[in-house]
Structure 1
Amino acid sequence: MITLTGQNLTLAQMKEILFENQKVSASEKSMEAARKSREAVEKIVSESKVIYGITTGFGKFSDVLIDKEDVEDLQLNLIRSHACGVGEPFPEVVAKAMVLLRANALLKGFSGIRPIVIEKLIELVNKNIIPVIPQQGSLGASGDLAPLSHLALVLVGEGEVFYKGNRMSSLEAFQKEDINPVTLQAKEGLALINGTQAMTAMGVIGYLEAEQLAYQSELISSMTIEGLNGIIDAFAEEVHLARGYKQQIDTAARIRSYLSDSLLTTQQGELRVQDAYSLRCIPQVHGATWQALDYVKEKLEIEMNAATDNPLIFDDGETVISGGNFHGQPIAFAMDFMKIAVAEMANISERRIERLINPQLNDLPPFLSPQQGLQSGAMIMQYVAAALVSENKTLAHPASVDSIPSSANQEDHVSMGTIGSRHAYQIIQNTRRVLAIEFICAMQAVEYRGVKKMATQTKRLFDAGRELVPSIKKDRIFSKDIERATEGLKTMNLAKLIQPLDKVK
């Protein structure tokens, strides 16, 4: 059981909850903070004070006062009117992350929402009742209004959910689990939808997948080095200490570890003086990707524990401030940075694929073909990798540099962070396929060199890969191989193949 406090949720805990079905609870201290902020809202309503979103309309309607008897209708109308997302739903794991992150943010005690609503969100997480949330329609300020409105619809019994593999109305799922919908009271609709949880949830899932891919890319590229009799000297510790980037140093150390007992690597001058950049500069390029991912991780873990709605309630209700924490610019920048960093992993991987199959660049059979001319071998796999890399370049265009005014220019600058996070996720999927192609080609190359000469670590990866994709003895429908290898990478537990990654320095 992981206890949510609104203060210290980590990506490691998110992974446990989302992928290992770990249950969550709310700390009593945080629930007490929520109760106190709720009392402040009720006092504001009883005294008919003019406070944005509690006794006024929203956006450009912030100057319109709402009668005391209409505050509940105001919240329900808000949810219904803002639930206008379009397109395919977010992946279920992303939607579950949204619910979890919204509960965690509300537990900070600045939002004025009743504890029962937070309890309902936690119940959805623990019982795997996942809101159906369309992916498109958020500007990333005032937060993720459209996506989070679809989440809030579920709580009032008007939305749709995924439950035990089926898509159904929230009421149907609630009946199966003996859950009652809630009636939103003053400020609660606004507190549920004014936040950055869609872009952050998408970013969390993207980061967790990108982190795994970054480790896998080092192991796969190590096998490529063997397939090309690469020069190991370029990974010497003193080279990387001389520059000083920790991530570059660590990447080189892991590759040295993976290849420590390989008989397929060479020394400089043995076969050639130096390798091409796509081999020689792996620590520099992959290390730079790790630098970006470290930045993304830092920003995500801050945002996961942030109060991002508006207005915020302080000093037991004595101070209510209308601010702009819902603006997604920090996450928008982080998502764009992740897009570029992961796209570059695919970029350099595709160049290694070219070196594996191009007879002008190696001494292997052309295109790794088992029968030159009659069999095309891996020729068109490189085409596919090139197409995916090119698509990544268009997706990597920064979303965060765009802004379109909304709400009659009251909301005149927005982040587009959710678009950035969605594009980052697409790039990650494309990059995994490119790495899968490099994996297939590298396995074929080391077969020609001699599998018995492989390093212990890369041989374990080779054995796992051959369970997914057989050796190329003749041409076949290679798209099936690519997809099997891709799925294998997505589910592969690297810790079972190699020594713990965080111990390899």
Structure 2
Amino acid sequence: MSSQIVDAAGAVSSGHTGPVVLDGIGLRVEDVVRLADGRARPVLRADAMKRVAESWDAARQIAATGRVYGRSTGVGANRNEDVPTEAAAEHGLRLLRSHAGAIGEELPAREVRALLAVRANQLLAGGAGLRPTMVTALCEALESGAYPVVNEFGSVGTGDIAALAQVGLALAGEHPWREAGSSGAGGASGEPRGVAGAPEPQHLDNNDALAFISSNALTLGQAALALHELRGLLEATQVVGALSVLAVDGAQEAYAAPVHTARPHRGSVEVARRMRELLGAADRPTPPLGRLQDPYGFRCLPQIHGPAHDAADALEEVVAIEINAAAENPLITPEDMAAYHHGGFYQAQLALALDHFRLALTQVARLSTSRLSTLNEPVYTRLRPFLADHEPASSGVMILEYAAGAALGELRAFSAPASLGHAVLSRGVEEQASFASLAARQTLRACGAYRLVVGCELVAAVRALRQREFRPDPDLPVGRALELALSVLNEDQADRPLTDDVTAAAALLDRFTDIWRRGG
């Protein structure tokens, strides 16, 4: 199989639709997700491949005439040990074999494919000094769906060296692959040609090993997947919040333009504007005649959702830089024929941005549980406690508060700052660690718990609106959201298990994201 290469203008001549052009410059988070999910095929740009070739040629010349970390020397605390010329050919494979010690569960296919996509694009940025066929091999795997076995643990945020060493050995023909659609269980072949779609084994030497594994591609791929899902869920949460506002006759003046012009934080201003758009409210809505000041779950929604949007934007900026960066150590620069040794692989920005994002999302989820409690309160809904039916002492949706609280507890645990971690490794030479890898895993794991919290609120909000027989204008975004929810969620309000209701509501949130993005 031969990966398609396009010219600098990006022209694609095949009949495939929706390709992602890899050029080392413009890869986006959504592109990583599409490649990870197999919804797009990678296309290599010719000028980027030229950068790879130039870097490869320069690296071999530099390593042949001077000391270059990991090519003519050992790594870590072995950095001062030279590799004899006669041992150079085997040095690369020995390095990969010794470092391919990731442990724990096998990662799902989409996480490994995200790794492959990120690493291919980083290599196209130039600077790695890696043979060009490694890039095309990565893209062949992305196109076929085959993926190497990669285990979960092995990184502390200073390079995903264990995971990438496993991928490197798979490319060399010494580590197992899985076929597209595999569950990841059971005996994968150790021979790439025994798995459909795996690229032909690559010949690797001392100039390839460290050049390939000097990256945080797994962490970045996982961060991209988590950010994409959670940003969508954050948007959907605002639609659910708007339904809850209607369910309790909430005041809309909390979203008034003058309020947010007076305190112009970007995220809060945008959330308030979206709330007015979702609800069909004026920029200066008339204050209600009844209750004065709703609970925080309604009144402070822009002030709590806004920072989460800002945190998502900040995280996306960091991820976009990193997935298009030549952060290799050493960095090979053909222009001056130099190998620069540095710490550009250290992921402080990413770890801090991921921690910030999870903390902000936990605030949003906590606000959702606050609205859920309000929906159970007759003072605000003018309905029976817990939105129960008319049978004596019915419990209605009472249990959802407990279920949402339990999911919120899980989310809160995942939100502990990973960047507080510390490690001293390799005989004290590497005496700091960002733990961005842990932050990425925690952010991915937060997706399910967050989704369930908001699903509980949606079930209660729709039940309240059903009981009130309230239907907003179907031309409004909130009206479209309610019609969609009514068509999916069970209308039976008798006491019964609500597990399936919450599962359906949680799945529905992805379609609410579309409503949020289309707006009015």
- Counterpart residue identity of residue 287, structure 1: G
Quickly say closer, same or farther: Cα 1:233–1:110, change in 2 above 3 A.
same
Q: Choose which of 341, 346, 359 in structure 1 pairs with 2:365.
A: 346
User: What residue is the counterpart of 1:26 in the other structure?
Assistant: 44
Is 1:320 matched up with 2:339?
yes
Q: Choose which of 143, 150, 159 in structure 1 pairs with 2:175.
A: 159
User: What residue is the counterpart of 1:249 in the other structure?
Assistant: 269
User: What residue is the counterpart of 1:129 in the other structure?
Assistant: 146
Contact 1:145 1:193 in 2 (8 A): yes
User: What residue is the counterpart of 2:319 in the other structure?
Assistant: 300
User: What residue is the counterpart of 2:29 in the other structure?
Assistant: 11
- Counterpart residue identity of residue 398, structure 1: P
Is 1:198 matched up with 2:214?
no
Which residues in structure 2 correspond to 1:401-480 (within 5 Å)? 401-453=420-472, 456-480=476-500
Is 1:71 matched up with 2:71?
no
Could you tell me how far apart the structure 1 residues matched to 2:120 and 2:513 are? 32
Deviation at 1:161, TM superposition (A): 3.2
User: What residue is the counterpart of 2:76 in the other structure?
Assistant: 59
- Counterpart residue identity of residue 107, structure 1: L
Please list the CA deviations of residues 78-137 of structure 1 after superposition, one character each: whole Å capped at 9, or x if unmatched.
222222222223332221111011111111221110101111011111111123322222
Could you tell me how far apart the structure 2 residues matched to 1:371 and 1:402 are? 53
Give structure 1 stretches of 5+ with no counterpart.
Answer: none
Contact 1:159 1:170 in 2 (8 A): yes
- Counterpart residue identity of residue 100, structure 2: A
Which residues in structure 2 correspond to 1:49-128 (within 5 Å)? 49-128=66-145
Contact 1:342 1:428 in 2 (8 A): no
Residue 114 of structure 2: SS of its match in structure 1? helix
Contact 2:472 2:478 in 1 (8 A): no
Is 1:171 matched up with 2:191?
yes
Contact 1:446 1:454 in 2 (8 A): no
Quickly say closer, same or farther: Cα 1:454–1:443, change in 2 above 3 A.
farther
Quickly say closer, same or farther: Cα 1:440–1:30, change in 2 above 3 A.
same
- Counterpart residue identity of residue 410, structure 1: V
TM-score, normalised relative to structure 1:
0.92
Quickly say closer, same or farther: Cα 1:248–1:40, change in 2 above 3 A.
same
Quickly say closer, same or farther: Cα 1:425–1:178, change in 2 above 3 A.
closer
TM-score, normalised relative to structure 2:
0.90
Q: Please say which of residues 438-447 and 387-396 is displaced more in the overlay.
A: 387-396
Could you tell me how far apart the structure 1 residues matched to 2:465 and 2:298 are? 16
Contact 2:226 2:444 in 1 (8 A): yes
Quickly say closer, same or farther: Cα 1:350–1:372, change in 2 above 3 A.
farther
User: What residue is the counterpart of 1:289 in the other structure?
Assistant: 308
Could you tell me how far apart the structure 1 residues matched to 2:148 and 2:372 are? 41
Residue 301 of structure 1: SS of its match in structure 2? helix
User: What residue is the counterpart of 2:290 in the other structure?
Assistant: 271
User: What residue is the counterpart of 1:40 in the other structure?
Assistant: 58
Contact 2:36 2:117 in 1 (8 A): no
Q: Please say which of residues 446-455 and 29-38 is displaced more in the overlay.
A: 446-455
Deviation at 1:362, TM superposition (A): 4.1
- Counterpart residue identity of residue 118, structure 1: V
Residue 418 of structure 1: SS of its match in structure 2? helix
Residue 71 of structure 2: SS of its match in structure 1? coil
Quickly say closer, same or farther: Cα 1:232–1:9, change in 2 above 3 A.
same
Which residues in structure 2 correspond to 1:159-238 (within 5 Å)? 159-166=175-182, 167=184, 168-169=188-189, 171=191, 176-177=196-197, 179-238=199-258
Deviation at 1:20, TM superposition (A): 6.2
Deviation at 1:301, TM superposition (A): 0.6
Contact 1:152 1:193 in 2 (8 A): yes
Could you tell me how far apart the structure 1 residues matched to 2:269 and 2:439 are? 30
Q: Please say which of residues 219-228 and 395-404 is displaced more in the overlay.
A: 395-404
Contact 2:114 2:221 in 1 (8 A): yes
Give structure 2 stretches of 5+ with no counterpart.
Answer: 1-18
Quickly say closer, same or farther: Cα 1:112–1:459, change in 2 above 3 A.
same
Please list the CA deviations of residues 470-503 of structure 1 after superposition, one character each: whole Å capped at 9, or x if unmatched.
024222222222222222324x2643x46624xx
User: What residue is the counterpart of 1:239 in the other structure?
Assistant: 259
Contact 1:399 1:417 in 2 (8 A): yes
Could you tell me how far apart the structure 1 residues matched to 2:241 and 2:398 are? 19
User: What residue is the counterpart of 1:391 in the other structure?
Assistant: 410
- Counterpart residue identity of residue 153, structure 1: L
Contact 1:139 1:414 in 2 (8 A): yes
Contact 2:192 2:199 in 1 (8 A): no
Percent same amino acid among aligned pairs? Answer: 26
Contact 1:377 1:474 in 2 (8 A): yes
